[in-house]
Homo-oligomer: A and B are copies of this chain.
Amino acid sequence: MAQLIADRRDVDFVLHEQLNVSDFSKYEKFGDFNKKTIDMIVSEARTLAIKEIYPTQPLSDAGCTFENGQVKVPESFHRVNELFLEGEWLAMADNPEYGGGGMPKTVSLAVNEYFIGANVSFMLYHGLTHGAARMIEEIGTEEQKNMFCKNLYSGKWAGTMLLTEPEAGSDVGALTTKAIPNDDGTYTITGNKIFISGGDHDLAENIIHPVLARVEGDAPGTKGISLFLVPKYKVKADGSLGEWNDVVCTGIEHKMGLNGSATCSLTLGGSGKCVGTLLGERSKGMRSMFIMMNDARQLVGLQGFSVATTAYIHALNYSRERIQGSHLQKPKEGGVPIIQHPDVRRNLLIMKSYVEGIRSLIYYSGTLHDRMAVAETADEKKFCEDMLAILTPIIKGYGTDRTMDVCSLGVQVHGGYGYCRDYPAEQLLRDCKIFQIYEGTNGIQAMDLLGRKIGMNSGKPFMAFLDEIRKTIHAAKTVPELGTLAEMAGNVLDKYSETVMLLGKTAMSEVMKAFIQATPLLDTTGDMVMAWMLLWRAKTAADALKNKPKAKDVPFYEGQIKTCEFFVSSLLPVTLGKLASINALNTAVVDMDEASFGTK
């Protein structure tokens, strides 16, 4: 099968050679998932993704329809949805008690890379369903879990997340959706929500909406917010569907991309008949949200990454086939594939660096989840939890910023054809822009990193994070061909560490001055993580080259070393420049008069 969506060799490299994911099979929880099983799972997913889901991607661009208050997904989604649910992929890494497949999260990430890369709009419905189910499993009552989890994990029902309102986007605390307690313990909900992905559709018989709302009289701002479960159709005690629950879809957005995913406006309780049950503790809705927020943000990072890997594969395939222009050193020998032109190769290598660096980062984050699941000590669990907290804004923010770069370069490599709808490149670029925005704009991710993550627990977890990078650098120093690269990366990391210290200190006394640098901090932190992952890969590849690899693996391993060389030699010097910029702590951004930005 042709390489489409993702390079299988690289997927396997990260799973088995960099991260040794089959080692988790020594734990009872993951006992069934040895290397052979994992490979079989990935192969099966890849086949379904390439053969069935991928062809629906261009079709989905025509978008959903909204008629008579009902949303219909693109027709092509129905068949692949059946196949996807039959394969029990939705909850592959979840609790078997509720029908989950119990596989390591890391493996599910590789599987989802194929599925999401095949059609991110289609997979968004399942991502939301999965998120809602996880949330109910985490904080729901036994009754709620029994009522909803199985049907959500099986995909019989779908889930969403009702957060945003017209005047409450990034500022969640400003929401106005209201909950009034009823005598039977339920709440009557009224309000309007916008930008609800999968807010209505015809892929499932019921849709379960977790809704952020304020119980009448509770505190203003984020403090008084509670979380409720509001199904589209009420669920009877026996689990069967009851009457309609007064949730009305009032329209869908027309967007730049991601058109197969219905982005809905919903009115709850327009006729006063919308009833929900409290999910988690009253007035602790934001805390409950935050429990799931990291997962949701990691998922957005995965969405971006999966689109980016698809964009890279397309650009690579095109550059190998497209004959245009002669070789710079052999101008008289006629046309060559454009991959032979230095500027095209440079674009490809930028794409490859980021795609592979982020693949390693995301799969590594999967191992942290899996380590938590089998942790034998509290310290181990805490380490993983903290590490995930730190990596989340990087996966979401830095990851999706690079996705935008990769997808834009993907169009560029295709030349004029890249701008035409006949090729997938432009759709990938349009689809991916939203990842920088939803689940907290990347500006908010940057503030999360600077404001919460760096200083949490007196900065100890962040120091531990830097130590992990240092360990890899030290290990790479022992490999002769990587010594210089490791040295260079180490120097940049030292400079980076100083910068973080400075910024952390500044944030305590001069908050505006520090927060101007939030995005540059996120950006340079991501660069350090890329250096870490690519050095780790290069070390793994260098070791493999010493052990008589198969002939066909030699260029793959050598490519790992070259990619690391490119990143450290050509991109990390720019990181140094960015660090110098942060260190200058220039305040023009906030000093400037608002009127100076432009005439009103």
Name A's B-contacting residues (CB within 8 A).
3, 7-10, 164, 167, 169-171, 174, 195, 253-257, 312-313, 316, 320, 323-326, 328-329, 335, 339-349, 352, 404, 408, 411-412, 415-416, 418-422, 426, 429-430, 433-434, 436-438, 441-443, 446-447, 511-512, 515-516, 518-519, 555-556, 558-559, 562-563, 565-566, 569-571, 573-578, 580-581, 584, 586, 588-600
Task: Report the minimal beta-carbon distance from A61 to chain B, rounded to whole angstroms.
Answer: 10
List the B residue with the shortest CB-CB distance to A324. B171
Enumerate chain B residues within 8 angstroms of A320, measured Cβ to Cβ. 594, 600
Task: Report the minimal beta-carbon distance from A213 to chain B, rounded to whole angstroms.
Answer: 19
A364–B70 Cα distance when bound, in Å, is: 56
Q: What are 8 sample pairs from A and B whose C-beta atoms fall under 8 A apart?
A: A167-B324, A169-B324, A171-B335, A256-B429, A342-B518, A411-B437, A416-B434, A555-B593
List the B residue with the shortest CB-CB distance to A319. B597
A495–B448 Cα distance when bound, in Å, is: 36
* Copies of the protein in its oligomer: 2
Enumerate chain B residues within 8 angstroms of A566, measured Cβ to Cβ. 586, 588-589, 592
Contact A562/B596 with A515-B343, A588-B570 known, Cβ cut-off 8 Å: yes
B347 touches A174 (CB 8 A): no
Interchain CB contact (< 8 A) of A591 among B344, B562, B590: B562
A586 touches B569 (CB 8 A): yes
Interchain CB contact (< 8 A) of A443 among B343, B411, B446, B556: B343
Contact A345/B581 with A419-B255, A438-B416, A596-B562 known, Cβ cut-off 8 Å: no
A290–B59 Cα distance when bound, in Å, is: 41
Knowing that A170-B324, A349-B588 touch, tell me 11 more A-B residue pairs with CB under 8 angstroms: A167-B324, A256-B419, A320-B594, A411-B437, A415-B437, A430-B430, A556-B596, A558-B596, A559-B595, A566-B588, A575-B577
Enumerate chain B residues within 8 angstroms of A515, measured Cβ to Cβ. 328, 342-343
B570 touches A581 (CB 8 A): yes
Interchain CB contact (< 8 A) of A574 among B195, B312, B574: B574
Contact A346/B589 with A171-B325, A416-B195 known, Cβ cut-off 8 Å: yes
B562 touches A588 (CB 8 A): yes
A3 touches B600 (CB 8 A): yes
Enumerate chain B residues within 8 angstroms of A600, measured Cβ to Cβ. 3, 320
Enumerate chain B residues within 8 angstroms of A426, measured Cβ to Cβ. 255-256, 433
Contact A254/B422 with A443-B344, A590-B345, A593-B558 known, Cβ cut-off 8 Å: yes
B343 touches A446 (CB 8 A): yes
A441–B324 Cα distance when bound, in Å, is: 13
List the B residue with the shortest CB-CB distance to A581. B573
B592 touches A345 (CB 8 A): yes
Interchain CB contact (< 8 A) of A581 among B253, B325, B571: B571
B556 touches A416 (CB 8 A): no
List the B residue with the shortest CB-CB distance to A590. B342
A348–B408 Cα distance when bound, in Å, is: 21
List the B residue with the shortest CB-CB distance to A583. B573
Enumerate chain B residues within 8 angstroms of A574, measured Cβ to Cβ. 574, 577-578, 580-581
Q: Which interface residue of A320, A342, A443 has the most chain B CB atoms within 10 A?
A: A342
